[in-house]
Amino acid sequence: MKPLERALGIGAALSLFAMMLLTFCDVVGRKFLGESIVGSLELTELLMLGAIFFALPLASLKGEHVVFDLLDVFLPPPVRKLQGIISNLFCALLMAGAAWLVWLRALRIMEDGDQTAQLSIELAPFVVLTALLLLATAIMHLVLAVTDHRVPHSHLPGVDEQRAAQ
Q: Is the pLDDT of residue 17 over 90?
A: yes
Give residue 91's Cα distance to chain centre. Answer: 13
The percent of the chain in helix, strand and coil, each rounded to the nearest 5, is 75, 0, 25
Domain ranges of the chain: 2-165
- Which residues make beta-bridge pairs with 19? none
Element (H, E) at 118: none
Question: Would you give the distance in Å from CA 129 to the centre of its chain?
Answer: 12
**Among 53, 15, 38, CA closest to 121:** 38
Q: What is the crossing angle of helices 2-28 and 40-62, to 10°? A: 150
DSSP-H helix ranges across 63-158: 77-112, 124-147
pLDDT greater than 80 at residue 149: no
Q: CA nearest 116: which of 128, 124, 108? A: 124
Instruction: Report the greatest alpha carbon distance in the chain.
Output: 66
pLDDT of 97? 98
Higher pLDDT, 139 or 156: 139
Classify the C-alpha dihedral 159-161-164-166 as positive or negative.
negative
Contacts by residues 75-78 (CB-CB < 8 Å, ≥ 24 positions apart): 77/151, 77/163, 78/151
Question: Residues 48-72: pLDDT tens digits?
Answer: 999 999 999 999 888 777 777 777 7
Burial of 52 (0-12, 13-18, 19+ CB in 10 A): middle
The whole-number average pLDDT for the span 31-43 is: 93
Tell me what percent of the residues of the chain surpass a pLDDT of 70: 89
